[in-house]
Chains A and B, each alone.
Chain A
Amino acid sequence: MRPPPFAAFIEEHRATVYRFLLATVGPHDADDCFQETFIAALRAYPTVRDDGNLRGWILTIATRKAIDHGRAKRRRPVPMDDLPETGVGFELDGASEVWDAVRALPPMQRAAVVHRYVIDMSYAEIGRLLDCTEEAARANAYEGRRKLRAALAPVRGPDLVTTDAEVR
């Protein structure tokens, strides 16, 4: 089936993609990655087939952009002066250390954690998205969570340390 008009496609997926990018690259870079994601999608759009999983398709692109973005950023750190003065306005109250810790994770673990816990995807979906097996997706999410716990235990106290039983 041919895909819907791009205007309708954006309208349907913009919030999910934005939420995902907010969690993976942070409020300052979410806009840029959002633009790159949908421009890449628009370029490829005439050849895409609507197999009922355009959401998976756009999230695959967003994931790739978020990972590339993380890599590029490590290569050339952005000086503080270059940060846009107006953030997107998202208050991650009391949780900013969590997001800093999430963004400090290696790209695959970060993507797995966010897909699983922020936009609630199954490991099978995450595996398809990250181009790895379901087991690898689970392992990445598990390892990501383990690192988050280790990073956050000193700041957040032991109440935040969860048991393995919580890891679905």
Chain B
Amino acid sequence: MNDTLATLGRLDVDAASRRAADQLVRRAAAAGLIDIAVATVDTPMGALLVAGTREGLVRVAFPEEHPDVVLQELADAVSPRILRDRRRLDRTLRELDEYFDGRRRRFTTRIDWQLIPAGFSRRVLEETARIPYGSVSTYGEVANRAGSRRAARAAGNALHDNPVPVVVPCHRVVPSSGGIGQYGGSEWRKEYLLSLEGWLAR
């Protein structure tokens, strides 16, 4: 009998428990229990991790930031009720696809700013969100519009910590001295995005 009982301990339940876990996501979504939905979208710049709350898009992460680390940060800062669920993010994922395809110039996705406390940094990012597709501003201009003319360096820091790159186009902010400047997600990505938008010659 011990043997028979032990058999069940060894049964391969992986596939069945995976199916049950997938079904759980649908149940959790229907019950309104998912605080943060996450999904991955393939782009020419690598797989982007996208996370959304009920309020809007809260995080976009490049693959160098390890997904486990990004999700743990979200769990600590926002809520640990995090599940992989594409449906809530449907619109954002579609818009990102279209953007990288060259078919979209503006994101309509709502942003959830809760990772950036209200203040100068948030104003910098909000101003950056207004820079049109295919054009750029300088760090100084963005700092000025955010209310502090001389805070170009602080604006640069705020942009470096942009929780939602690509959608809030921090790549459209460049140094007044020329060149494209730095980028939190590696400079080749900034160059790629500015070329995609036609500001840099391809």
Contact = CB atoms under 8 A, between A and B. Distances in A.
B75 A149 contact: no
Given A8-B68, A117-B5, 15 more contacts: A5-B71, A5-B74, A6-B81, A18-B16, A19-B8, A22-B11, A35-B24, A45-B81, A46-B80, A46-B81, A90-B11, A90-B16, A98-B1, A98-B4, A148-B1
Given A10-B21, A39-B28, A19 B13 contact: yes
Contacts, number: 116
Interface string B11-32: 1011011101101100110010
Task: Identify whether the interface residues of A are mostly helix, strand, loop, or mixed.
Answer: helix
B72 A4 contact: yes
A37 to B, nearest CB: 9
A7 B5 contact: no
Interface of A: 2-11, 14-15, 17-19, 22-23, 30-31, 34-35, 38-39, 42-43, 45-46, 88-90, 92, 95, 98-99, 102, 113, 117-120, 145, 148-149, 152, 156, 160, 162, 166
Interface in B69-112: 71-72, 74-76, 79-84
A120 B140 CA distance: 64
B1 A162 contact: yes
17 contacts: A2-B80, A7-B71, A7-B83, A10-B24, A19-B17, A22-B8, A38-B28, A45-B80, A46-B35, A88-B16, A90-B16, A98-B1, A98-B4, A117-B6, A118-B5, A149-B1, A160-B1
A97 B135 CA distance: 73
